[in-house]
A and B are shown apart, each in its own frame.
Chain A
Amino acid sequence: MIAIASALALILAALTVCYGRQGLLRLALLDLRGGALIAVAVVAQALHVVLIGGEFVLLALTAACLGLCLWQNRQRPGMALIALGIGLNMLVMGANGGVMPLEPTVLAQTTGTAVNADSLVRYSKDKIIPDDMARFAVLGDRIALPGPLAQIAIWSLGDLILLSGIAVLFTQVMKGPGQCSSTNLQAPSGATPR
């Protein structure tokens, strides 16, 4: 959760530098539909990481809620990337019994720690599954960012695509219609968003 929150904070910080206070205020215009569906999906995933067993049912419920929510917001920028990222994560988790496969060699390279295969990581969505035992292994958690960023987390391809979609969505919302960053930075402090 810390990695996800940090990534979102990084995106927001970069866009705030570009679009300033007005950009932040324009976030109020985002108004995503399906907040209740997202809440149900969050509860399902919270149960998923706390409970062992029933992962597939909770994953199916999450996928249904997120799918409906994405459909309701399909006209918004970045939603195609967000849907693709979530879809890839749901695909690999669904194919592996509701858990995200974590490649043990990547974990060993990143942390210097060898973890036994088939270990379930408590309070997370991950299970240590080597590539030859995982389905759609290429979509599992196996991407470590370069340098010191590698210490933050190990990501899946779907995670990175999902974050790209969020970045596109926030960029379009914070930029505002028909304005460039320089005009936003020079906008008077009392100006209303849009």
Chain B
Amino acid sequence: MNTTQLRKTVVRAIVAVGVTLGLLFAGSAPFDFNDGPGRATVAAQK
């Protein structure tokens, strides 16, 4: 695999991970303490 092929493969792998992350973001809904809203919600109630 030469450098150009390797670069294309790496880009495609990154795109695949990005698309999967999009799928996860759109399809899941965990309550995240570390996101701003989670912290703010918890802090606002203290």
Contacts and interface: CB of A to CB of B under 8 A. Distances in A.
- Chain B associates with chain A: yes
Contacts of B21: 4-5, 8
* Range for the number of chain B residues in contact with chain A: 20 to 34
What 4 pairs between A and B have smallest CB-CB spacing? Answer: A28-B12, A41-B26, A86-B27, A30-B16
A93 B42 contact: no
A134 interface: no
Contacts of B22: 38-39, 41-42
A7 B21 CA distance: 10
* Range for the number of chain A residues in contact with chain B: 35 or more
A169 to B, nearest CB: 8
Contacts of B25: 1, 4, 42, 45
B23 A69 contact: yes
B9 A25 contact: yes
B33 A151 contact: yes
Given A66-B23, A124-B38, A3 B13 contact: no
Residue among A7, A111, A114, A141 with max Cβ neighbours from chain B (10 Å): A111
A155 B26 contact: no
Given A2-B34, A4-B21, A25-B10, 17 more contacts: A4-B25, A5-B21, A8-B17, A27-B13, A28-B13, A35-B15, A42-B22, A44-B26, A66-B23, A66-B27, A86-B27, A90-B27, A124-B29, A156-B28, A162-B27, A166-B20, A169-B20
A12 B24 CA distance: 14
A162 B9 CA distance: 26
Contact of B16 (A28, A90, A116, A159): A28
